[in-house]
Amino acid sequence: MVYEVKDDVIYVHSNFFYDVDDVASEEYGFHFRDVNALQDRKNWNSYRKEVPGLIAELEAAERAANEANAKYGISIALKFSLGHYPYLETSFNAKGMSESEKLQEIKRHARAMYEAWGCWREWASTEGREIYVKTTKRRQSQIKFIDAVDSRLNKITKSWYSEVMFKKPGVRWALVGWVRIESLPENRGVWLVEERKDSIVIFSDNFETINARNELEYNSIKVMGGFTAGGYEEQFNMLLTRDEIDEHGMKISKPITPQEAMKYGRKTIISPQLLKDVAKQISKEFKVDIRVMKDKPVLMTEFKTKGLKKNEKIDEIERRAKALAEAWNRVKGLAKGTVDTEA
């Protein structure tokens, strides 16, 4: 997110990582007396024994920020919203700058933020994951469960998934689909799975992207179509594409440009009634409740988890995933070749 305050200071900050109290309670069964405790770095060592994985993650985020600062000459810092939602933030004074100069400085800070965030996520999915496995049996059990869900989903949709390494309030874990360099998954009927306190919610990908043929088109539609819409220039830099080759024959990662977004961001126009009709058909055939989200062309389904064992949860996810995958295939067949010619 980018915003400017009255005193000409422009801020760039990342998403929240998670709620530190949620992580502590879910992973270690530990509750902070004061949820603001970790806002003061002096307290980290005091809680290292109780929540070693959490402290290690915060330290890794600081290291990633310091590395980006050294490279770009800026000042990314680890902050806490409400005292217990960590995130990264940087800022600069834009007083006297032209709009062009502001834009260039925003790009520089956003690129540094993107790299710092990426380094932290890479650490969290490798070394951080290992620390949690070693320090909590609960985490190890959760990993096995998520891996089992991942395996079932992959067989049904032939899509690829990764665990979301930052958490939204109330979400215990999430698996999200992703686009590989080589190709787009053909079936994105299941694109996000979230386990909440008392339910599991499953979402399809946005049907506006259903006819995207490659990563560039897919990410361009995201920029143009509303996934990250918001009017900020740095959003083009946050979505990468790999369609250029270097001297070694390797594909190069580069930001989506506004020009590419305009050229390739041709979203598919899906009739809301069509989605509703397909959701109704699938719900009846698979005996599940499939519905359309209110604010975007995405199908979703949810079920309560109270009293269910892990195997029962997995079986129910599988049943609903098959329904969503079938819905995706039907809509894709009906919407083939339909695009927004004004994009």
CB 298 within 8 A of CB 292: yes
How high is the pLDDT of residue 343? 41
> What is the distance between the alpha carbons of residues 55 and 50, in angstroms, rounded to a whole number?
9
- Say if 171 falls within a structural domain: yes
In whole angstroms, what is the distance from residue 201 CA to residue 300 CA?
7
- Residue 41 is given by DSSP the state G
pLDDT at 341: 42
Task: Please indicate, yes or no, whether residues 167 and 242 belong to a single structural domain of this protein.
Answer: no
CB 276 within 8 Å of CB 313: no
**255 strand-pairing partners:** 240
Provide the residue range defining the domain that includes 298: 141-209+268-335
- Residues contacting residue 54 through CB under 8 Å, at least 6 positions apart: 20, 23, 24, 27, 28, 38, 47
Per-residue pLDDT of the chain (343 residues; tens, 9 = 90+): 676 766 788 888 888 998 998 888 888 878 888 888 999 999 999 999 889 999 999 999 999 999 999 999 999 999 999 888 999 999 998 888 888 898 898 899 989 999 999 999 899 989 998 998 888 877 678 888 999 999 999 999 999 898 875 557 788 888 999 887 667 888 999 999 999 989 999 999 999 999 998 888 888 888 876 554 334 444 555 566 766 666 666 666 777 788 888 888 888 888 899 999 999 999 999 999 999 998 889 999 999 999 999 999 999 999 999 999 999 999 998 876 565 544 4
Structural domain contains residue 84: yes
Half-sphere exposure of 279 (CA within 13 A, CB side): 19
Grouping H, G, I as helix, E, B as strand and the rest as coil, residue 210 is: coil
Closest to 9 (Cα-Cα) out of 96, 100, 122: 96
Same domain, 130 and 148: no
Confirm if 139 and 53 have CB atoms less than 8 A apart. Answer: yes
272 domain-assigned: yes
Gap between the Cα atoms of 79 and 72, Å rounded: 19
Q: Are residues 126 and 35 part of one domain?
A: yes
Where is the domain boundary, 134, 164, 193? 134
CATH number at residue 195: 3.30.1460.10
- Whether residue 342 lies inside any domain: the answer is no
Residues 164 and 204 in one domain: yes
Which tokens go with 293?
């989200």
Q: What's the pTM?
A: 0.61
pLDDT at 236: 56
Q: Based on the domain organization, do 174 and 90 belong to the same domain?
A: no
Domain count of the fold of the chain:
3
Distance in angstroms (rounded) separating the CA atoms of residues 109 and 132: 31
71 near 64, Cβ under 8 Å?
no
